[in-house]
């Protein structure tokens, strides 16, 4: 196990993401932040807070469960039934710029599933993907619009994001 980001590095990356996202949003832009369960949800809440401070206004923040949109849902993995949780988007996404947040971009399949789920909820003006870690090796033509850090790890390695709200600590590790 190798720690590649500690709590301070994650905080700096989120501050940097906040600045880059805010710079792309013209004044008065109608936008919302939506996190992919589960760690994307936590990152979205953090980014929503820093964006609200930076921009001096509030905006909607929601959580998206993509379980039923995954293309590996029926693959036999011996892990039992997938756990479907709630999507918590209590606002209209039509004509909004959606900042979609995930912790790690790897193959692109989670991002694709999230976009499919969002399109079923309405028609956003645009969807922009922000990730804490882009580890490369994408299988689909999906790129992050905003990334905290890009790392090069082999396909046999696992990148794990640990966040205080869920794991008791902030760090990114490679196993």
Stretch 62-79: mean pLDDT, rounded? 77
> Is the pLDDT confidence value at 28 over 60?
yes
Residues 105, 7: Cα–Cα separation, whole Å: 20
In sequence order, the 6+-apart residues with CB closer than 8 A to the CB of 104 are 131, 132, 133, 134, 135, 159, 161
Note the pLDDT tens digit of each residue in 145-158.
999 999 999 889 99
In a domain, 49, yes or no: yes
Core vs surface per residue 19-42: b (16+ CB within 10 A) or e: eebeeebeeeeebbbbbbbebbbb
Better pLDDT: 40 or 73: 40
pLDDT at 79: 60
Q: What band does 73 get if pLDDT is binned at 50, 70 and 90?
A: low
In a domain, 78, yes or no: no
**What pTM does this model have?**
0.92
What is the tally of structural domains in the chain? 1
Residues 161, 128: Cα–Cα separation, whole Å: 21
Stretch 12-28: mean pLDDT, rounded? 94
pLDDT at 5: 97
Mean pLDDT of the residues in the chain: 93
Q: Which residues pair with 173 in a beta bridge?
A: 3, 160
3-state helix, strand, coil in the chain (%, to 5): 30, 25, 40
- The CATH number of whichever domain residue 44 belongs to comes to 3.40.50.2020
Q: Domain containing 135: what range? A: 2-24+37-73+83-174
In a domain, 31, yes or no: no
Note the pLDDT tens digit of each residue in 87-134.
999 999 999 999 999 999 999 999 999 999 999 999 999 999 999 999
In a domain, 98, yes or no: yes
């Amino acid at each position: 196990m190798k720690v590649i980001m500690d709590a301070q590095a994650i905080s700096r990356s989120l501050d940097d993401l906040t600045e880059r996202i805010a710079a792309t949003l013209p004044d008065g832009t109608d936008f919302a932040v939506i996190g992919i369960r589960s760690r994307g949800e936590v990152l979205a809440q953090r980014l929503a807070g820093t964006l609200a401070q930076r921009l001096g206004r509030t905006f909607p923040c929601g959580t998206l469960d993509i379980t039923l949109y995954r293309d590996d849902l029926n693959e036999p993995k011996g892990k039992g039934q997938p756990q479907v949780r709630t999507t918590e988007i209590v606002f209209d996404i039509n004509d909004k710029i959606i900042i979609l947040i995930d912790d790690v971009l790897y193959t692109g399949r989670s991002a694709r599933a999230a976009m499919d789920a969002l399109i079923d909820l309405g028609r956003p003006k645009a969807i922009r993907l922000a990730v804490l870690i882009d580890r490369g090796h994408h299988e689909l033509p999906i790129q992050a619009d905003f990334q905290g850090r890009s790392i090069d790890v082999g396909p046999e390695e696992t990148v794990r994001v640990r966040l205080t709200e869920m794991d008791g600590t902030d760090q990114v590790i490679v196993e």
